[in-house]
Amino acid sequence: MIAAIGLLLATAGTPGLEVGEAVSPFEPYWVSGPYEKTRQCPVCEYGALPLVIVWSQFKAPKALAPVLKAVNDTVALAPGGRQKAFVVDLNAAASDTKSRAALAKFSKEWALPKVFFLSRLGSTKAVLNDYKLSPFAAWETIVYVAKDRMVTAKFVDPNPAELPAIVEAIKATTQ
């Protein structure tokens, strides 16, 4: 209980949805995963399952790699594949072609089969509003852990010391 209150206080006033708020549908371009080269909504498709949604601007991919590895390894433990994870590129500086090429490269190099790489949204403006991602300059990566379409944990610009907390938050959604 005290830890939950501490987490809630630590995230108050930061960009992004807060714990207890709902994740919204969005239509990204799938670079990897079962819907590769489509704009299937991952929340619509998998919203009944526990989800990990990582929004990133991919400014520092080397810093993001260990976070995604921890997500991949933890999601792999979910019984019967009953948990899904996505990383969405929101980099405003790159073209769609460059974003997709970079994501394809990372997907291949990092070999994270449980993390699906998604690019550019059909309506970035709506997603920035729905996920409270403005101001865009205030963050680089936001990790949401969700169950029943509700955010159960949020990590803004996570550092290596936060990886155990991310792992525990993901595991808690499958118990």
Residue in this structure with the two tokens 């594949």, named with its chain if needed: 81
Query: Alpha helix (H) ranges present in the chain?
Result: 2-11, 42-46, 61-75, 96-110, 124-130, 163-172
User: What are 16-27's pLDDT values in tens digits?
Assistant: 999 999 999 999
d(CA 57, CA 162): 19
On whether the 2-172 domain is CATH 3.40.30.10, my answer is yes
What was the pLDDT predicted at 7? 47
Per-residue pLDDT, averaged over 127-138, amounts to 86
Among 63, 102, 110, smallest CA distance to 85 is for 110
Direct distance between the N- and C-terminal alpha carbons of the chain, in angstroms, rounded to an integer: 17
pTM of this prediction exceeds 0.75 = yes
pLDDT at 66 > cutoff 70: yes
Per-residue pLDDT, averaged over 55-77, amounts to 95
Ordered by start, the domain boundaries in the chain are 2-172
Would you call 140 helix, strand, or coil by DSSP? coil
Q: How is the beta sheet containing 28-30 ordered, strand by strand?
A: 28-30, 115-121, 84-89, 51-56, 141-147, 150-156
